[in-house]
Amino acid sequence: MNALSRTTRHPLRWFTAAAAALTLSLGAYAAGGQMGPGPHGGPGAGWHHRGGFMMEKQLADLHARLKLSPEQEKLWQSAADTMKRDGAAGRAEREKLHAQLKTMMQQPILDMNALHTAHMQARQDGERLHEETASAWLAVYNALDDQQKTVVSDSFKQHFAKMESMREHMRERWQQRHGAASAAAPANQ
């Protein structure tokens, strides 16, 4: 098996993933007020939401460092509003899909065609919302001057390096846990 991830073997996928990460990074600013520890309490609950608070702070710092012109600020606020609206619509769609799937699961024989259709519709809706949000944030980015784009690029590169470091750490932990389990498995047989 190739040691490279699918995204590093395919540059277009990597670029798409990087652009999506930038879009999400910029969009987290808009969604910041809606993030929280999630419905489940306790340690580790809503882990990804707590990370959103850090990203919200990073984006607020980025927003301040960009020193946007009034025209750029209008684009920023429009993108933030789009992200909030699309985020809320996405959550509502996921809740609707979940309720629909729960209803389907109560049937003695599952209608796999209906499950597939519901899943594909949810994916299409999600893609549409993602594209609306991405387009709004890209309009902000395209309105920036080169100095502002450098600030965004540097911020993104730092975030990407941190995520790569975290990914490597998690891979090492997985190998330690599963490597030890794999070595112990033949002894148990």
What pLDDT, in 10s, does the model give residues 84-140? 899 899 999 999 999 998 999 899 998 999 989 999 999 999 999 999 999 999 999
Higher pLDDT, 81 or 46: 81
> Which alpha helices (H) appear in the chain, and where do they start and end?
6-9, 11-31, 47-66, 70-105, 112-143, 146-188
Q: Look at residue 50 and tell me whether its pLDDT is greater than 80.
A: no
Residue 60's pLDDT is 85
Q: Look at residue 30 and tell me whether its pLDDT is greater than 80.
A: no
Residue 37's pLDDT is 39
46: left (phi over 0), alpha (psi -120 to 50) or beta: left
Residue 182's pLDDT is 62
Q: Share the mean pLDDT of the chain.
A: 77
Model confidence over 51-95: pLDDT tens digits? Answer: 556 667 877 888 999 999 999 999 999 998 998 899 899 999 999
Residues in the chain: 189
Residue 49's pLDDT is 46
Residue 63's pLDDT is 92
Nearest Cα neighbor of 143 from 80, 79, 85, 75 is 75
Higher pLDDT, 64 or 31: 64
Contact (Cβ atoms closer than 8 angstroms) between residue 124 and residue 134 = no
Percent of the chain with pLDDT over 70: 65
Place of tokens 């899909």: 97
Contact (Cβ atoms closer than 8 angstroms) between residue 82 and residue 132 = yes
Q: Look at residue 12 and tell me whether its pLDDT is greater than 60.
A: no
